[in-house]
């Protein structure tokens, strides 16, 4: 192994022009329209009539170097050596020759074992975080819970039968790296951090105090050690301090649960983007397959499939039928915790006399 020179070179982003499929490079900025040929297969047609086919498949996101090489061998054979990934970790094989389409699909489904889908009004691959595989903060897993959930939602990944697309995200702590989705799964903690006073000096205490959104952390001296204390009535169990300092342990294997949130939307289509809202809480964190999460997500998808009108995103459907009916249709209990008490709370109340009675 040569001695690393390790001089910073600040090279910046890779030169993407080298990686574009030849038809992408040729028709850059000159695309006319696209069609979905079947779930998982798109064709983009350029102004000059050139056609670029895309085969979208669900990827596990985490791959061994050998799996990456397998993917490359397939793309070399059928895709002129070009592919891409999407925001939701789908893989997209780019195909210039139509005759390569069927053998490629065969190779992706049979040799690689990755399902085609995630296009149009379907459930796309789940945006997710690192979980127990490699994060320092998780209260649950991510890659595993996503695998288990996608197994259960496979029909709606492979078929375009929903009113509109459904983006799911899964986060393994309250920082929620996977962010908003039509449906989103989050870990929820249920008591204040347990402080390891002996080990507090490894972090910068002012940062631990400053990070607290509830101003619940203040400096203290415990057994002669400079440390912090938590005002428990103020603490909202978010775990922000835990991200700052490992001695503020927020997780609890016995009591941590999961909650499901619905109606996040980032597209501007039809209605303005929206945040996701609490649907159901107190779901057990139950590895290895989290069956209670699958059951709840399936209930939401079933109600949405039955009640949503074409093009309505999940949140738009709920806004139309009203939250009261969302809870009726899903059977999820409406509880006091569904009423917001955050700084945004007043804007979430029904400030009208418009009710379904």
Partner 1 sequence: MSTERMPLNTTMLNELESGPWPSFVTDLKEYSKKRPVIAQLLNQLEESYQNKWNYWQGKILNAPGYGGGIIARVSDKASKYPGLANFHTVRVIEPPGWVYSTDALRNLADIAEKNGAGILQFHGMSGDVLLLGFDDAGSLQCAEDLMSNGWDIGGSGAAMRTLQCCVGQARCEMACYDTMKMTKHITDTFIHYLHRPEFVYKFKFKLSGCPNDCSNAIVRSDMPIIGTWRGDMQVNQAKVAEFIEQKGMEYLIDNVLTRCPTRCLSVRGKELVVDNSDCVRCMHCINVMHKALKPGKDRGATILVGGKRTLKIGDTMGSVLVPFVKLETDEDRSNFTDFVEKVWEFWNDNGMDHERIGEFIYRIGMLTFLKGVEIEPDPRMISRPRTTSYIKFEELGPSRFEGERVQNPPVWNRESESRESL
Choose, by CB under 8 A, the member of 40, 58, 192, 263 that binds partner 1. 58
Quote the CA–CA distance of 119 and 115 in Å, as a whole number.
Answer: 12
Task: Write the interaction track for partner 1 spanning residues 124-163; mark x where CB under 8 A is met and - where it is not.
Answer: ---x-x--xxxxxxxxxx-xx--xx-xx--x---------
The nearer residue to partner 1, 194 or 221, going by C-beta atoms, is: 194
Footprint on residues 257-316 left by partner 1 (CB under 8 A): 264, 266-271, 273, 275, 285, 287-289, 309-311
The nearer residue to partner 1, 219 or 273, going by C-beta atoms, is: 273
Footprint on residues 36-55 left by partner 1 (CB under 8 A): 44, 52, 54
Quote the CA–CA distance of 191 and 193 in Å, as a whole number.
Answer: 7
Sheet strands side by side (includes 51-58): 31-38, 41-46, 51-58, 90-95
Quote the CA–CA distance of 56 and 258 in Å, as a whole number.
Answer: 30
The answer to whether 113 contacts partner 1 (rule: CB under 8 A) is: yes
Choose, by CB under 8 A, the member of 82, 189, 242, 329 that binds partner 1. 82
Neighbours of 303 (CB within 10 A): 21
The nearer residue to partner 1, 85 or 221, going by C-beta atoms, is: 85
Q: How far is the CB of 168 from partner 1 (least distance, A)?
A: 13
The answer to whether 337 contacts partner 1 (rule: CB under 8 A) is: no
The nearer residue to partner 1, 21 or 329, going by C-beta atoms, is: 21
Q: Which stretch binds partner 1 (CB under 8 A): 1-9, 193-201, 300-308, 331-339?
A: 1-9
The nearer residue to partner 1, 28 or 337, going by C-beta atoms, is: 28
The nearer residue to partner 1, 246 or 333, going by C-beta atoms, is: 246
**Own/partner pairs, 305-312, CB within 8 angstroms, 24+ separation:** 305/161, 305/162, 305/163, 308/162, 308/163, 308/164, 309/163, 310/121, 310/163, 310/164, 311/163, 311/164, 311/269, 311/270, 312/163, 312/164
Q: How far is the CB of 287 from partner 1 (least distance, A)?
A: 4
Question: Strand pairing of 217-222 and 225-230?
Answer: antiparallel
**How deeply is 144 buried, as exposed, middle or buried, from its count of CB atoms within 10 A (0-12, 13-18, 19+)?**
middle
Q: How far is the CB of 224 from partner 1 (least distance, A)?
A: 26
The nearer residue to partner 1, 209 or 220, going by C-beta atoms, is: 209
The answer to whether 81 contacts partner 1 (rule: CB under 8 A) is: yes
The answer to whether 76 contacts partner 1 (rule: CB under 8 A) is: yes
The nearer residue to partner 1, 283 or 328, going by C-beta atoms, is: 283
Choose, by CB under 8 A, the member of 123, 238, 258, 260 that binds partner 1. 238
Whats the size of the chain, residue-wise?
357
Q: How far is the CB of 243 from partner 1 (least distance, A)?
A: 8
Quote the CA–CA distance of 182 and 169 in Å, as a whole number.
Answer: 8
Question: Strand pairing of 168-170 and 183-188?
Answer: parallel
The answer to whether 247 contacts partner 1 (rule: CB under 8 A) is: no
String of DSSP letters for 333-349: PP-GGGS--STTGGGGS
Helix H or strand E segment including 259? strand 257-262
Choose, by CB under 8 A, the member of 12, 336, 353, 354 that binds partner 1. 12
């Amino acid at each position: 192994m040569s001695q690393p020179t390790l001089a910073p070179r600040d090279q910046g982003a890779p030169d993407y022009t080298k990686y574009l499929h030849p038809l992408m490079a040729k028709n850059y900025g000159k695309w006319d329209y696209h069609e979905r040929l079947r779930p998982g297969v798109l064709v983009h047609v350029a102004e000059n009539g050139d056609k670029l086919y895309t085969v979208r498949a669900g990827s596990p996101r985490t791959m061994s170097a050998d799996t990456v090489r397998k993917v490359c061998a397939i793309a070399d054979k059928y895709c002129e050596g070009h592919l891409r990934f999407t925001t939701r970790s789908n893989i997209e094989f780019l195909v210039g020759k139509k005759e390569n389409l069927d053998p490629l699909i065969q190779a992706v489904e049979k040799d690689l074992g990755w399902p085609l889908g995630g296009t149009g009004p379907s459930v796309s691959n789940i945006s997710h975080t690192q979980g127990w595989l490699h994060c320092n903060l998780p209260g649950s897993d991510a890659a595993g819970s996503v695998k288990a959930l996608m197994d259960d939602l496979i029909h709606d990944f492979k078929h375009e039968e929903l009113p509109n697309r459904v983006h799911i995200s899964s986060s393994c702590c309250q920082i929620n790296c996977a962010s908003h989705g039509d449906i989103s799964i989050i870990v929820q903690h249920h008591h204040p951090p347990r402080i390891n006073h002996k080990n507090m000096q490894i972090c910068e205490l002012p940062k631990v105090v400053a990070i607290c959104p509830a101003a619940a952390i203040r400096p203290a001296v415990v057994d002669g050690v400079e440390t912090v204390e938590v005002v428990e009535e103020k603490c909202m169990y978010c775990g922000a301090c835990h991200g700052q300092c490992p001695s503020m342990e927020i997780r609890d294997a016995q009591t941590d649960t999961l909650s499901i949130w619905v109606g996040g939307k980032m597209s501007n289509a039809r209605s303005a983007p929206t945040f996701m809202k609490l649907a159901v809480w107190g779901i057990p964190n139950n590895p290895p397959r989290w069956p209670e999460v699958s059951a709840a997500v399936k209930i939401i998808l079933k109600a949405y499939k039955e009640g949503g009108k074409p093009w309505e995103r999940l949140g738009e459907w709920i806004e139309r039928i009203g939250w009261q009916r969302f809870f009726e249709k899903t059977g999820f209990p409406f509880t006091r915790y569904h009423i917001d008490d955050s700084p945004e709370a007043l804007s979430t109340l029904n400030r009208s006399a418009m009710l379904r009675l």
